[in-house]
Amino acid sequence: MSETVLNALQYYGAAAALLAAFLVSLNLGVRLTGWAFVIFVTSSIALIAWGFLNDEGVGIGWQNIGLLAINVVGVYRYLIAGGPDNEKAEHAKGE
């Protein structure tokens, strides 16, 4: 794999994770937080690819497989299920 592609994956993954974490920290609502998790998903995919295409990054690749699963849960909760508050309301109706 070319050095340029590996660098692009590595730096995109790092920058996207920073942006997504910043957006989550702002707590500006369910929709924006959901889109931050979408950015986290793209970061994880880039870092999985970087990790397994790079001899020195296998640990980061495995870590990001776990983070990808967590981020997919975030996308589901915030964009598909309507956010944690909606889940609480649905749960309360069922009791």
The yes-or-no verdict on residue 93 having pLDDT over 80 is no
% of the chain with per-residue pLDDT over 90: 82
pLDDT in tens, 40-54: 999 999 999 999 999
Contacts 24+ apart (CB under 8 A), 58-64: 64/13
In this predicted model, which residue has the larger pLDDT, 82 or 85?
A: 82
Q: Where are the domains of the chain?
A: 3-94
